[in-house]
Structure 1
Amino acid sequence: MRNKRKLLLEQLDQKINPFLHTKKITVPDRGWINTIRTTLNMTMAQLGDKLNITRQGVRKIEESEANGTITINAMKEVAAALDFQLVYSLVPKNGTIDDLVEKKATALARKIVLRTHQNMKLENQGIDDDKIEETIKDLAAEIKREIRKSLWD
């Protein structure tokens, strides 16, 4: 199961990789549809004809995109009408999915080890800082290998 999970993680990272460098793209204030349509010097009526809807229907679509309520299917339809394609992905905020799992595994390991260490200190069985860091590193590697569900709590 571990090897399968690792393989799935690697495959997902590969699929997302092309999008990792697009983080600096910001959506125009009026949305992509309006921006592309007006840049192409296309009227609402012309886009409406391509979509088999009215000019007012195009306005509603542009408004729904601008306020974030448009559906993915509607975006696909408009993209096709404009001879574009919709590109859609979820991308980690910082780095790759592997980086995210590493960060979460290290944080969880640190929490577990420090909690255990605190209990051991109360019983005069504490360990030194180097050993704590080594234990955190080892536990993080194990958690990462298993991708424990508790990683996401």
Structure 2
Amino acid sequence: MRNKKKLLIEQLDQKLKHFQKTEMVLVPDKGWINTIRMALNMTMAQLGAKLNITRQGVKSIEESEAKGTISLNSLKDIAEVLDLKFVYGFVPKDGTIDNLINSKSEKLARKIVLRTNQNMKLEDQGIGDKKINDSIIDLADEIKREMRKSLWD
């Protein structure tokens, strides 16, 4: 089961690697609809005719996209009438899904080990920095291997 999860993560990272460039995901100030419409030298009335809405409806849609309140279905419809493909997804901030899992595992392991060590210090049983770091690494590896649900708390 663990190998299956690892394989799924590797496959997802492979699919997402093409979207890692920041400039690929920056949304223009006025939104994609307005930017593409302007680049195509298309009027609001022309786009409205394709969507069976008024010029004012197109303006409202463009404003809605710029504010981030447009629906995914609206974006799909607009892409369709413009003969474009609508692309939607999530891209890890730190490179890969695997990096995200590593980071979260290390953070959770650090929290657990330091909390445990603090309790042990209260009983004069604390451990040294090297042992703490080794324990964090070992626990992070275990958390990652098990893909504990607590990783996402």
Corresponding letter in the other structure for 1:34: N
Aligned residues: 153
Could you tell me how far 1:84 is from its partner in structure 2?
1.4
The equivalent residue for 1:126 is 126
The equivalent residue for 1:70 is 70
Q: TM-score, normalised by structure 2?
A: 0.91
Could you tell me how far 1:111 is from its partner in structure 2?
0.9
Higher relative contact order (CA 8 A, sep 6+): 1
The equivalent residue for 1:27 is 27
Give distance in 2, aligned partners of 1:149 and 1:22.
29
- The farther-off stretch of 135-144 and 15-24 is 15-24
The equivalent residue for 1:12 is 12
- The farther-off stretch of 102-111 and 75-84 is 75-84
Structure 1's consecutive aligned runs of 4 or more residues displaced over 4 angstroms after TM superposition are none
Residue identity over aligned pairs, in percent, reads: 68
RMSD, aligned α-carbons: 1.5
Could you tell me how far 1:122 is from its partner in structure 2?
2.1
What aligned pairs does 1:31-50 form with structure 2 within 5 A after superposition? Answer: 31-50=31-50
Could you tell me how far 1:141 is from its partner in structure 2?
0.3
Does the aligned pair in 2 maintain the 1:120–1:126 contact within 8 Å?
A: yes
SS of the residue corresponding to residue 89 of structure 1 reads coil
SS of the residue corresponding to residue 58 of structure 1 reads helix
Give distance in 2, aligned partners of 1:23 and 1:121.
49
Give distance in 1, aligned partners of 2:113 and 2:92.
27
| CA-to-aligned-CA distance 1:45-80 (integer Å, 9 cap, x gap) | 111122222222211211111111111111111112
Could you tell me how far 1:23 is from its partner in structure 2?
5.0
Does the aligned pair in 2 maintain the 1:48–1:54 contact within 8 Å?
A: yes
The equivalent residue for 1:107 is 107
What aligned pairs does 1:91-106 form with structure 2 within 5 A after superposition? Answer: 91-106=91-106
| CA-to-aligned-CA distance 1:12-46 (integer Å, 9 cap, x gap) | 22222211124564212211111111121111111
Give distance in 2, aligned partners of 1:103 and 1:117.
21
Give distance in 2, aligned partners of 1:18 and 1:96.
11
Structure 1 unaligned regions, length at least 5: none
Give distance in 1, aligned partners of 2:57 and 2:50.
12
Give distance in 1, aligned partners of 2:45 and 2:75.
18
Could you tell me how far 1:6 is from its partner in structure 2?
1.7
The equivalent residue for 2:147 is 147
